[in-house]
Amino acid sequence: MKCSSQDKELVNRYNEYSTQIKSDCEMSKEEYCRNKISQNMNNPKEMWKTVNEFSGRGNEGSRNGIERIVVHGREITDKREIASEFNEFLTGVGKNYQKKLNSHLECMTSKVKDL
């Protein structure tokens, strides 16, 4: 059976939409994970509970850990590299918070000096 040009166009459009939806889902999951960890940044117990939830450690039947993550559109499957990415993200949360805090302190200090 021969496909018409209209059928080919529909297949192409389906493939484009499918790829875009998969990409959007991965980005949404990554953003959700980051937001959830950031929300619990000041509560280490809840933060690790969240990390364990995403890694599958919260489920008794699944103890294999995270099999893959997507960072900046790049899929990572190597366990050491996944651990490194989590470490970089989690240590970066504190550094970013400190930068914001220092910026606010500098602003407040300059305002007090102006008084």
> So where are the chain's domains?
29-114
pLDDT digits (tens, 9 = 90+) for 15-67: 898 889 988 888 888 888 888 878 887 888 888 888 788 776 655 544 557 78
Give 115's pLDDT tier (boundaries 50, 70, 90): low
Taking phi over 0 as left and psi of -120 to 50 as alpha, with beta for the rest, 75 belongs to beta
**Distance from the Cα of residue 82 to its chain's centroid:** 12
Give the per-residue pLDDT at 61. 47
DSSP reduced 3-state for 58: coil
